[in-house]
Amino acid sequence: MTLATRGPVRIVGTGLLGTSVGLALRTHGVDVVLHDPSRTALALARDVGAGRPAGPDDTAPALVVVAAPPDVTADVVRAELAAYPDAVVTDVASVKGYVLAELRAAGADLTRYVGSHPMAGRERSGPSAAVPDLFLGRPWVIADSGSSHPDAVLAVRSLAVDLGAVPVTMDADAHDAAVAAVSHVPQVAASLVAARLRGADDAALGLAGQGLRDVTRLAASDPALWTSILAANAAAVRDVLRDLRTDLDTVIDALGQAAAADGPETVELGALATLAQAIADGNAGVARIPGKHGGAQRTYGVVTVLVPDAPGELARLLTEVGEAGVNLEDLHLEHAAGRPVGMAEISVLPGRVEHLEAELTARGWRLVS
Ligand SMILES: NC(=O)C1=CN([C@@H]2O[C@H](COP(=O)(O)OP(=O)(O)OC[C@H]3O[C@@H](n4cnc5c(N)ncnc54)[C@H](O)[C@@H]3O)[C@@H](O)[C@H]2O)C=CC1
Ligand SMILES: O=C(O)C(=O)Cc1ccc(O)cc1
């Protein structure tokens, strides 16, 4: 594949994001120069193949990608705009309004700056967590400065497309309100739910299943990075959390009424309906999350299969799903605590469930209903 992005591309900040951008560009042979104030982060990014450390004799870059923490992003962008007067400069910080306001206040050349934000990441930080396919199929917000030159916007859009992402145009404030709801509040909620587990005893934790893991996956994120993200998007995150607090209070009041009753019949009128409504509202919200191919979410059927904990068994199962002519849409593995089997939850199109169950049963697999 020939890329529209021309080198040299200079990446400033060689952590998870910067190193992933470098790896993806290097895969296509683009010349990438790297810079990071942490000498270790820089050397590690070089070692994993994300590019070469910037040197004094380098050709000036055509494009600079700033992938530093949000609180230093505006300063770094400003310095890069000044150091490379012909380069387009973008950043990938998770917050856009704050960076743009600081650049504007500092009188930076906004014609060559285009803010951006790939909606792709991991719970781990640093160059060792970087992967070249991090951006595949993910939205990449392009937030022009209001004065960005169309060629600069095109260069940043091309970067997103070249890395396999889907560019989405949004202004900085709309972006910040959107990520407050879909990324920053989910992070806070996951952290708060997980934090409740600190005092739980081992017996309780031993009962945990996939539901708890799903809800708390983000709680493994880096505290320093997230403090910087939350502080930079504080007003928008606070607004969504206030609404969440109102909803929590409603549920707490209803539970208080249920706890005070002798049984369901004597619960104060409306309290049970309030609880049901909270869960139903969640159903309505989750149904609005786009599916894995970016369109409206599909509800898949799930076939759960017991897989003996022996070499090659999972591979055999997946081969036989293919032989049955069924397309695997998603796969979840769970280990049954203390038992020599695992459970494979195979997601398939709803119309294929019966056929797959029959095929797997005929081939001797044990299904969990
Ligand atoms: N972690 C994630 O999942 C995502 C993060 N982002 C954004 O990407 C940016 C980078 O995040 P990560 O790569 O996850 O963080 P990271 O912690 O893995 O890497 C940040 C790097 O920036 C360097 N750095 C610190 N101060 C600097 C400065 N003044 N100049 C240049 N480099 C500096 C650090 O040494 C470190 O190597 C952040 O703005 C974050 O909001 C965007 C999408 C996803
Ligand atoms: O892992 C996930 O689901 C994420 O949402 C990762 C993520 C973290 C921070 C961002 O600014 C963008 C994406």
Phi, psi of 178 (to 5 degrees): -65, -45
CA–CA dist 1, 15 (Å, integer): 26
Burial 77-116 (b: 16+ CB within 10 A, else e): bbebbeebeebbbbbbbbbbbbbbebbeeeebebebbbbb
Locate CATH 3.40.50.720 in the chain.
Answer: 9-170
What is the 151 CA–ligand 1 centroid distance (Å)?
Answer: 26
Low-confidence stretches of the chain (pLDDT < 70) are: 292-299, 336-339
What pLDDT, on a 0 to 100 scale, did the predictor assign at position 333? 84
3-state SS, residue 45 = helix
Residue with tokens 């060689």, as numbered in its chain: 14
- What confidence score (pLDDT) does residue 217 get? 94
Nearest CA to ligand 2 atom 11: 94
As a whole number of angstroms, the distance between CA 29 and CA 25 comes to 7
Does the beta carbon of 119 sit less than 6 angstroms from any atom of ligand 2? Answer: yes
- What's residue 293's pLDDT? 52
Q: What's residue 340's pLDDT?
A: 73
Closest ligand 1 atom to Cα of 94 = 41
Nearest to residue 172, comparing CAs of 95, 97, 72, 279?
97
- Say how far residue 192 (Cα) sits from the centre of its chain: 18
pLDDT of residue 337: 60
Read off the DSSP letter of residue 351.
G
Separation of alpha carbons 90 and 51, rounded Å? 18
| Pocket lining: 325 vs ligand 1, CB cutoff 6 Å | no
pLDDT at 298: 59
Q: At what angle do helices 172-179 and 97-105 cross, to 10 degrees?
A: 150
Any atom of ligand 1 within 6 Å of the Cβ of 228: no
365 secondary structure, DSSP code? P
Write the CB contacts of 163 (distance below 8 Å, at least 6 apart in sequence): 21, 24, 25, 118, 135, 136, 140
**23-57 pLDDT, tens per residue?**
999 999 999 999 999 999 999 999 999 999 999 99
**Residue 332: CA atoms inside 13 Å, Cβ hemisphere, count?**
15
Assembly ipTM? 0.98
The CATH architecture one would assign to domain 301-368 is 2-Layer Sandwich (3.30)
Q: Could you name the CATH architecture of 9-170?
A: 3-Layer(aba) Sandwich (3.40)
Q: Where in the chain is the domain with CATH 3.30.70.260?
A: 301-368
> Which ligand minimizes its atom distance to the CA of 12?
1
